[in-house]
Amino acid sequence: MDTQTPDPRKATFEANKLAKRLRRLTGEAIADYRMIEPGDRVMVCVSGGKDSYGLLDVLLSLRERAPVSFEVVAMHLDQAHPGYPADVLPAYLESRGIPFHVERQDTYSIVKRVIPDGQTMCSLCSRLRRGVIYRVATELGATKIALGHHREDMIETLLLNMFHGGKLKSMPPKLVSDDGRHVVIRPLAYCAEKDLDAYARTRAFPIIPCDLCGSQENLQRKQIKQMLAEWDRRFPGRVETMCRSLRNVVPSHLADPSLFDFAGIAPTGEPDPDGDTAFDPPEFPPVSAAFPLRVVAGK
């Protein structure tokens, strides 16, 4: 049986194309939401997973080309997991010459003590991490906190809130932190998880698995992730279309009276292009590579 030898030139071409796509999409998100401004000190939270490694790598690349000057510092929270390879991430960051800070806080013992076996640990673990991250950001003089959430994370959060929380809510690309003292940004908001996965393999990032929550196979988010993967397999482009919907909100065609004055609706005597379309066929424009910038506000 003949086997074909992989063409290194093709692999290099594909790797370069992938890197350019991630840089372009990240740059678009940063520009659209003004995530990074001149003089910013951006603290990138690096967990040791593919997404945060990718975020750090892409931001460092963009910094070399950006029209504005900003600093990047990596921050890692060592949660004292049993068997945690404490030397892996510092060795990688030192080899790249990246300024970094490792904060060791035994949140693992707290979570294990408070949460019964078999129950989801993410909520408490997340709250504990946030507190540490905000404190360290202040100590490091960071003006922005960058997280590695991608577009699938945003859609999964949207569906989780709809299915289980009764809210139409997702992860915003930019927000003020819980303590009101920091701005949190998600520069990978336009990037696909599969691209970040491929990028991590191409760049050979030393991945550190999360042994605390990553082993909980019954997480609702994992169920949503599997559902989205199946949808995208059967209907390619569906996830991208859902991501575009987050940027094309029409409050007058939802049902929240705090966002649109339904009580004050009255006939105007003039045609309204954004008026009643209940009896019109839906318009499904073709999926494009870039997200449209239009956000329709309620009138």
Domain that holds residue 173: 11-217
Q: Is 47 among the domain residues?
A: yes
- pLDDT of amino acid 110: 75
- pLDDT of amino acid 253: 86
Q: Is 232 among the domain residues?
A: no
Q: How far is CA 198 from CA 11, 54, 62, 265, in A?
A: 12, 10, 19, 50
Q: What is the CATH number of the domain that holds 156?
A: 3.40.50.620
Q: Is 46 among the domain residues?
A: yes
DSSP secondary structure, 9-70, as one string: HHHHHHHHHHHHHHHHHHHHHHHHTT---TT-EEEEE--SSHHHHHHHHHHHHHHHH-SS--
- Strand stretches in the chain, DSSP E: 41-45, 71-78, 100-104, 144-146, 174-176, 183-185
Q: Is 119 among the domain residues?
A: yes
- Give per-10-residue mean pLDDT for the chain (299 aa): 69 93 97 97 96 98 93 92 87 96 83 69 74 94 97 94 92 92 96 96 91 56 89 90 91 91 87 64 52 39
Q: Is 246 among the domain residues?
A: no
H or E element that contains 129: helix 122-140
Q: Is 281 among the domain residues?
A: no
Residue closest to 177 by CA, chosen among 22, 45, 32: 45
- pLDDT of amino acid 289: 42
Q: Is 109 among the domain residues?
A: yes
Total tally of structural domains belonging to the chain: 1
pTM above 0.95, yes or no: no
- pLDDT of amino acid 267: 85
Q: Is 74 among the domain residues?
A: yes
- pLDDT of amino acid 257: 94
- pLDDT of amino acid 287: 46
